[in-house]
């Protein structure tokens, strides 16, 4: 082989190695992109229509009533049902300029998931583009809280974080996000996470969004009553309101397991009784008892 051909072969080899490494990085990056799961179902899949829908809801939203809020509680139903209420919440923060938005999601898809799942890197994709993860904050949370993990199963099909993101992308296009899911309503676990997050966000421009529908299909009067009680507990930063009601019943001599069942029956049974199919109703009641009462 002539000497003048060797540099050419070396160049080709180097280029091939570079291309291989580049493709490997691209593949890794693409695996870290969580694709939209409910576009076209919960909200429009067409980018132009989605942006118009978000802006229209924001234009019709209630006026700003809170000065510089640090957190929102907003629903995650489809936009035809909840879009205006979601916008009412985001209207309160639209003049802020957060560098990171932490979205606390509700797990509807993985019944056996436990702990707290933090999406560690990459992005959540919507029709409006990629909402990039605050990877530094994710790494810090994972290092600081032993209850946190990177289980992505709960992120794959879940809608409660995804539904929030078009509003975040329209209002705060430069903000990074941190999607977080909780496996169970464990008060000590959630309290510890809140303290960890508060410490890590100190000094940063941050917004926390709690994605929760609060209730599903109760009678109007029941919904108003439960919502008022929930809001009162939130305003008082009282995470133990559910437990306090149980203790109140126990103070009257009612055994704990009966007190727990009374609390569940007082709200969930009237809701479940509206399900017309007996087999579905029975399965749902069994699920509620397992989740809330710890029954096998």
Q: What is the CA radius of gyration of the chain?
A: 23
* pLDDT given at position 295: 46
| 118 plus 77 within the same structural domain | yes
Last residue of a domain, one of 177, 211, 245: 211
pLDDT, residue 151, reads 93
Q: Which of 152, 185, 211 is the last residue of a domain?
A: 211
Structural domain of 172 = 34-211
Residues 159 and 199 in one domain: yes
Residues of the chain with pLDDT under 70: 1-28, 215-218, 237-278, 280-281, 285, 287-296
- Work out how many domains the chain is built from and give that number: 2
pLDDT in tens, 178-189: 999 998 778 788
Helical H segments across the chain, by residue range: 6-31, 47-59, 79-91, 135-144, 153-156, 165-171, 187-201, 220-235, 241-250, 256-272, 278-293
Return the CATH number at 151: 3.40.830.10
Residue 126's SS3 state is strand
Q: What is the DSSP letter of 148?
A: E
pLDDT of residue 116: 95
């Amino acid at each position: 082989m002539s000497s003048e051909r060797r540099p050419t072969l070396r160049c080709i080899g180097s280029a091939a190695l570079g291309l291989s490494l580049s493709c490997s990085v691209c593949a890794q990056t693409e695996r870290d992109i969580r694709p939209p799961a409910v576009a076209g179902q919960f909200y429009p899949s067409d980018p132009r229509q989605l942006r118009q829908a978000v802006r229209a809801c924001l234009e019709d939203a209630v006026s700003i009533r809170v000065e510089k809020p640090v957190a929102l509680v907003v629903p995650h139903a489809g936009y035809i049902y909840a879009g205006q209420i979601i916008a009412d919440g985001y209207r309160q923060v639209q003049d802020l300029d957060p560098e990171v938005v932490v979205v606390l999601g509700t797990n509807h898809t993985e019944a056996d998931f436990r702990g707290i799942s933090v999406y560690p890197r990459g992005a959540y994709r919507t029709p409006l583009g990629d909402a990039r993860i605050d990877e530094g904050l994710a790494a810090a949370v994972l290092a600081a809280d032993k209850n946190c993990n990177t289980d992505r199963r709960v992120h794959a099909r879940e809608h409660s974080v995804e539904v929030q993101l078009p509003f975040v992308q329209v209002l705060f296009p430069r903000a990074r996000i941190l999607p977080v899911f909780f496996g169970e309503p464990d008060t000590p676990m959630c309290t510890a996470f809140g303290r960890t997050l508060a410490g890590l966000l100190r000094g940063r421009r941050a917004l926390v969004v709690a994605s929760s529908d609060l209730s599903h299909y109760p009678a109007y009067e029941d919904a108003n009553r439960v919502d008022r009680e929930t809001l009162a507990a939130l305003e008082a930063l009282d995470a133990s309101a559910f437990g306090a009601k149980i203790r109140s019943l126990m103070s009257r001599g009612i055994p704990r397991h009966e007190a727990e069942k009374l609390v569940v029956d007082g709200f969930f049974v009237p809701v479940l009784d509206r399900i017309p199919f007996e087999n579905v109703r029975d399965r749902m009641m069994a699920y509620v008892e397992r989740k809330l009462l710890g029954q096998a």
